Structure 1
């Protein structure tokens, strides 16, 4: 990996990690009760998520930690080997990796992932900033790869 690319990747990963860590710290230490942010749309509510994406597979413990670590390691190895995909797709996948690392840190440190963002207009799981980067990054990467032109990378 060239130095410039490594620096760019490092900045993206670091920024996602810092943003997620700060917001989770806030939720754990200052969010004692739900707080409406946008009435009927969005509230902050501290939750302990022992599962994976949007609370699925709750209470699977160490298995989730190991599976997460393996998947993140495989993604990192793939990205570090200069994949033949566009820079935008690589950026999206680095965002997925960063979000995954932050949630993995929670699982190892606390035994759960800190969630605090709740959409009030749908019946949906409470989530966090890392989940946003994982979901948006993976969705964008999948769309870009699926709809790409064969001759343009």
Structure 2
């Protein structure tokens, strides 16, 4: 099963980096393409996290990423035979973390491009999508699977 999780991680990273490469090659910094009421592509350089919080604190993000890339793979290996909600969630978090880490180390910023037009939301990238889905999977696991198992043990 670890091969499956490795593939989820690899696909997340490769897809993220390919989309970022395409955006940098085809869209000027600050330019928006694909005008529609749902989503457009806008190339920005993000030197922080969501909403550009902690902008310019590259050292902080590198430190947090190193910790995350130590803890999450250990958790994935330790729980490799547990629920797919947990293991796939961890794999997506690892893949998303690596995707943004590559940008931070290589460029000193993260390439973001997806802009929602129907709500005010930070511009994001494929790695952010992987991270968000991974966190949602973890929450689902913790609330509905592990929470239910613990509740049953207490009865």
TM-score band, normalised by the shorter chain? 0.7 to 0.9
2:112 is aligned, of 92, 112, 115, to 115
Q: What does 1:4-153 align with in structure 2 at a 5 Å threshold?
A: 5-32=1-28, 33-36=31-34, 39-82=36-79, 85-148=82-145, 149-150=148-149
The CA distance in 2 between the partners of 1:126 and 1:91, in whole Å, is 25
CA contact (8 A) 1:53 1:131 kept: no
Report the TM-score when normalising by structure 1: 0.88
The CA distance in 1 between the partners of 2:21 and 2:67, in whole Å, is 26
Alignment RMSD (CA, Å): 1.8
Matched residue SS, 1:47: strand
Higher helix share: 2
Q: Unpaired runs of 5+ in structure 1?
A: none
